[in-house]
């Protein structure tokens, strides 16, 4: 893992840091084709070549987001396509909703796989 990405995790105060590291581990454990790197100053997770999820700390709120990559969307005439996001606030003082997170990631990965099978990506 690159130093800049690792520093994102390590600069956070506890219990946010521990929660971020646990979330990273949960996300990466879902599938070996998931990787992550720092983009937009935060950790962004990719499923093969598509954006899948991100972790973001905003004013002491820890957010886990699922990304629908803009390449899956039909372009509207005259409009720019943008990624869509679904966010879940994670309380670092509570148990991580691991089952929900894995379910959402698998659902999004299936959408990407189905899209590829149809030959659109």
Domain borders along the chain are 3-117
Is residue 5 within 8 Å of residue 37, measured between CB atoms?
Answer: yes
CATH, domain 3-117, list 3.90.1150, 3.40.640, 3.40.1360, 3.40.50: 3.90.1150
111 exposed, middle or buried (CB, 10 Å; 0-12, 13-18, 19+)? middle
At 104, give phi and psi (nearest 5°).
Answer: -65, -40
Contact indicator for 20, 55 with CB cutoff of 8 Å:
yes
| Residue 68 Cα to chain centre, angstroms | 10
Rounded to two decimals, what is the model's pTM? 0.86
- pLDDT of the chain, 121 residues: tens digit per residue: 688 889 999 999 999 999 999 999 999 999 999 999 998 889 999 999 899 999 999 887 899 999 987 666 566 666 665 667 889 999 999 999 999 999 999 999 999 899 888 875 5
Distance of CA 33 to the CA centre of its chain: 13
Q: How far is Cα 106 from Cα 79, in angstroms, rounded to an integer?
A: 29
Q: How many residues does the chain have?
A: 121
């Amino acid at each position: 893992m690159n130093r800049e990405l690792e520093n994102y995790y390590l600069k956070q105060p506890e219990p946010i840091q521990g929660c971020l590291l646990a979330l990273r581990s949960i996300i990466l454990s879902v599938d070996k084709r998931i990787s992550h790197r720092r983009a937009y100053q935060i950790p962004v997770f990719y499923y093969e070549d598509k954006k899948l999820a991100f972790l973001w700390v905003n004013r002491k709120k820890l957010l886990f987001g699922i990304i629908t990559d803009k390449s899956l969307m039909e372009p509207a005439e005259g409009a720019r396509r943008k990624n869509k996001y679904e966010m879940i606030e994670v309380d670092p003082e509570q148990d991580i909703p691991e089952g929900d997170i894995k379910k959402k990631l698998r659902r999004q990965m299936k959408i990407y796989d189905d899209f590829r099978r149809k030959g659109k990506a």
